[in-house]
Structure 1
Amino acid sequence: MADPRDDLTAIVAEVRRVTTLPGAQTLRRRSDRRRRRRAAIGAAGLAVVAITAGATLVRARSVVDTPGVDTSGVGPASQIAPSVVPSATASAGPQDILAGRRQVQIVLPGMRGATLAIDRDGDQVRATTEQGIDDRALWVLRPEGDRYRILLASGANAVCMTVVHDAAPGSVRGRACDAAASTQLFRIDQVPDGSYSIFQGKRYVQVVDGTNALVPDLPEGLTTTYEFEDRGPAPR
């Protein structure tokens, strides 16, 4: 007959075997294995996320980069016309200005941008820096043979620059245009710096210091030149 004490001894030994903690080295090895498994699982998860995101990005880019494709599956997408930005209207060239097709300001580059205009309260032409005077300062150069008639661009009646040989050094005035008046015909020539001279009769038409009046009879060479600044189509 088996001794009961032997069974009790076996039970105690088994309990001790199960409840005895592993050694420190064994625990470290197990802990290292668990960390490696967690790291491997985490890396695999990140790789899956990255692959999924990359596939989504590729699909999105393919939609953006494929013009004219309706991604809803309904049919071809309507073509969207690019917005058109109108370019600024270029100023006319000298050929249009000297053909009488443009209205211009006659500017004196040597006088800080002053322009030729008819006096507000008279008919004399002079250089002025006054602003807002287009009705008195826009001109059309109308060719007649090798000469030009210089007339105001606006107004109910045609008004032309007219040389008047009154008290020296004379004057230039705005008078009614007269097809028979030689004093309304001027020669216009380009000078080396690109500006223009205005000549009438035997002398250059120039601006006199002090009054800034435009005069025809200064007894000297060319001192005043002009530039023609385009201000749009000449009125019909």
Structure 2
Amino acid sequence: MPDLHDDLTTLAGRGKHAAKLPPAETLRVRSDRRRHRRTVIASAGLAVLAVAGGAAFLQTRSPAPPPVAAPTPPSPSATAPATILNGKRQVSIEVAGMNGAVLALGRGDDDQVKATTDTDPGDRSRWILRPRGDKYQIVLGALHGTSQVCMTTVHDKAPGTVRGRVCDPTLPTQLFILGRTADGTCSLFQDEHYIQVIDGTNALVPDLPESLTTTYELHDRGPADPAIS
């Protein structure tokens, strides 16, 4: 029969071993390590949030791309002596920087307006600036058959064309703003576009998507035909 005293002694020894605590210094070290790990994890979490928040802020504050601005129309102004702007004088419209080229209607059945360096384009290059409020009709200086013919923008195949069509003051495609440039030449403007000459064909066109590159000089060519003015 086992000795009761021995059993109790064994149990007491086990209890004493199980209840034994580590030294206080060891506990403090373990506690410090746990606090350090919590601090590192919390800091990492805040850093992730800060990066994510910063990205969201940048995404929110990124400015939208600026809209493409249309050309600013020139202020209507007298770009030449008033006598040639009153609809009573003929003018030639010389393209600045093109060796004397002037705007002229095509020959015969060709109704397109181009810049030409022909020695004597004659009546095809004489125009009358007829005031219409703060704009102008640009009227051919001679009758075309029995009709008065005006420069008219035609928005067909890009970049469009300018043609001689029977004058009609109600058509916005026949009304042009005449503007003054810094060098004293003038510009033609209509419907958010400058009317300009393109290289190669020398055609006068209304739909170039660019800023001002073609300017003109107006030259007095004498009194207009009373039948037109």
Shorter-chain TM-score range:
0.5 to 0.7
State the alpha-carbon separation in 2 of the partners of residues 131 and 147 from structure 1.
30
1:150 positional shift: 0.2
Q: Residue in 2 aligned with 1:161?
A: 151
State the alpha-carbon separation in 2 of the partners of residues 216 and 109 from structure 1.
18
Matched, 1:183 2:173: yes
1:132 positional shift: 2.2
1:125 positional shift: 0.2
Matched, 1:131 2:123: no
TM-score, normalising length: structure 1: 0.60
SS in 2 for 1:110: coil
Deviations along 1:110-138, one digit per CA (max 9) or x if unpaired, are 10010000111400000001122222110
Q: Residue in 1 aligned with 2:89?
A: 102
SS in 2 for 1:136: helix
Q: Quick one: which amino acid aligns to residue 172 of structure 2? A: S
1:178 positional shift: 1.1
RMSD: 1.0
Percent of aligned pairs sharing the same letter: 58
Q: Quick one: which amino acid aligns to residue 132 of structure 1? A: D
State the alpha-carbon separation in 2 of the partners of residues 178 and 101 from structure 1.
18
Contact 2:115 2:203 in 1 (8 A): yes
State the alpha-carbon separation in 2 of the partners of residues 125 and 177 from structure 1.
15
1:189 positional shift: 0.7
Q: Residue in 2 aligned with 1:229?
A: 219
Give unpaired runs (5+ residues) of structure 1: 1-92
Q: Quick one: which amino acid aligns to residue 143 of structure 1? A: P
State the alpha-carbon separation in 1 of the partners of residues 122 and 176 from structure 2.
22
State the alpha-carbon separation in 2 of the partners of residues 96 and 189 from structure 1.
17
TM-score, normalising length: structure 2: 0.61
State the alpha-carbon separation in 1 of the partners of residues 208 and 124 from structure 2.
24
Question: What are the within-5 Å matches in structure 2 for residues 143-158 of structure 1?
Answer: 143-155=131-143, 156-158=146-148
Q: Residue in 2 aligned with 1:140?
A: 128
1:176 positional shift: 0.5
State the alpha-carbon separation in 2 of the partners of residues 125 and 141 from structure 1.
16
Give unpaired runs (5+ residues) of structure 2: 1-79
Deviations along 1:5-32, one digit per CA (max 9) or x if unpaired, are xxxxxxxxxxxxxxxxxxxxxxxxxxxx
1:157 positional shift: 1.4
State the alpha-carbon separation in 2 of the partners of residues 157 and 233 from structure 1.
19
The runs of 4+ residues in structure 1 deviating greater than 4 Å are none
Compare relative contact order (CA 8 Å, sep 6+) and give the higher one, 1 or 2: 2
Computing the radius of gyration from Cα coordinates, the structure with the larger value is 1
